[in-house]
């Protein structure tokens, strides 16, 4: 807890818990706060929180690991359940201009929604990594992917202005209506 804010976290990797504890201690916070961070095995269907628990949800570079549009909406409905009326969600989704899509695409699912990315360059820092990514085609598609929330703003971010590759992500900021 810092500045009166209580944070909770969920990750699909158990290895995050010791890192969270280390980060808490580094920032002078009680290592006991690590109890607010949990490991959740996908697919995430039910969160261990009461209805209307949270004022804000941050999902940065997480949602696009959903295996389908249906799974994405299941996750969003559950987030909606645990958010207070008026609470805000900030989420990012990978777009087709992202470096991993433009340079490392291996295959596309038959329905065209899931992109299989494989890093085949031996000198790449992530050589050998293979992931499935639920792609967002454009801003209208982004709105439909987060239909459970009222859009506050949608847009995108790209680092291509800083270097020769693009970390293109769509950004959705929405609100839970009562």
Look up residue 75 and give its two tokens.
């996750």
The neighbouring-strand residues paired with 115 are 108, 133
Sorted by where each begins, the domain ranges of the chain are: 1-41, 53-175
> Which pLDDT belongs to residue 1?
55
CA geometry: angle 44, 45, 48, nearest 5 deg: 85
Output b/e per residue, 32-48; b: 16+ Cβ within 10 A: ebbeebbeeeeeeeebe
Look up residue 171 and give its two tokens.
């950004």
What average pLDDT does this structure show over 72-89?
96
Length of the chain: 178
43: which DSSP letter?
S
Checking if the pLDDT of 49 tops 60, the result is yes
Q: How far apart are CA 86 and CA 17, in angstroms?
A: 30
Model pLDDT for residues 87-118, shown as the tens digit of each residue: 999 999 999 999 889 999 999 999 999 999 99
41: which DSSP letter?
P
**Spatial CA neighbour of 78 closest among 38, 51, 105:** 51
Superfamily grouping for domain 53-175: Vaccinia Virus protein VP39 (3.40.50.150)
């Amino acid at each position: 807890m810092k500045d009166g804010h209580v944070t909770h976290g969920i990750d699909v990797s158990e290895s995050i818990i010791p890192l969270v504890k280390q980060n808490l201690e580094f920032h002078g916070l009680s290592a006991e706060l690590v109890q607010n961070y949990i490991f959740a095995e996908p697919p995430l269907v039910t969160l261990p929180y009461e209805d209307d628990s949270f004022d804000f949800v941050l999902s940065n570079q997480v949602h696009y690991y959903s295996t389908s549009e249906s799974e994405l909406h299941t996750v969003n409905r559950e987030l909606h359940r645990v958010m207070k009326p008026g609470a805000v969600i900030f989420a990012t989704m990978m777009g087709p201009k992202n470096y991993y899509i433009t340079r490392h695409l291996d295959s596309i699912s038959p329905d065209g929604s899931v992109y299989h990315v494989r890093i085949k360059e031996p000198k790449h820092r992530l050589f050998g990594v293979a992931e499935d990514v639920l792609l967002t085609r454009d801003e209208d598609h982004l709105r439909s992917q987060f239909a459970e929330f009222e859009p506050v703003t949608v847009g995108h971010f790209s680092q291509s202005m800083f270097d020769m590759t693009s970390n293109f992500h769509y950004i959705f900021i929405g609100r839970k209506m009562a």
